[in-house]
Amino acid sequence: MLRKAYDWVMGLAASRHAPSALFAVSFAESSFFPVPPDVMLAPMVLANPKRAYVYAALCTVASVLGGCLGYAIGYYLEPLGHWLLALMGHAEGQAAFEAWFEKYGLAVILVKGLTPIPYKLVTIASGLAQFSFFTFVWASVLTRGARFFLTATLLKYFGPTIRAEVERRMTLYTIIGVVVLVAGAVAWKLLH
Q: Is the separation of the CB atoms in 71 and 135 below 8 Å?
A: no
Q: Is the separation of the CB atoms in 29 and 119 below 8 Å?
A: yes
pLDDT exceeds cutoff 60 at 180: yes
pLDDT exceeds cutoff 80 at 17: yes
**What gap in Å lies between CA 150 and CA 157, rounded to an integer?**
11
Q: Give the pTM.
A: 0.75
pLDDT exceeds cutoff 90 at 34: no
> How many whole angstroms from its chain centre is CA 7?
23
Domain ranges of the chain: 2-191
pLDDT for the residue 2: 55
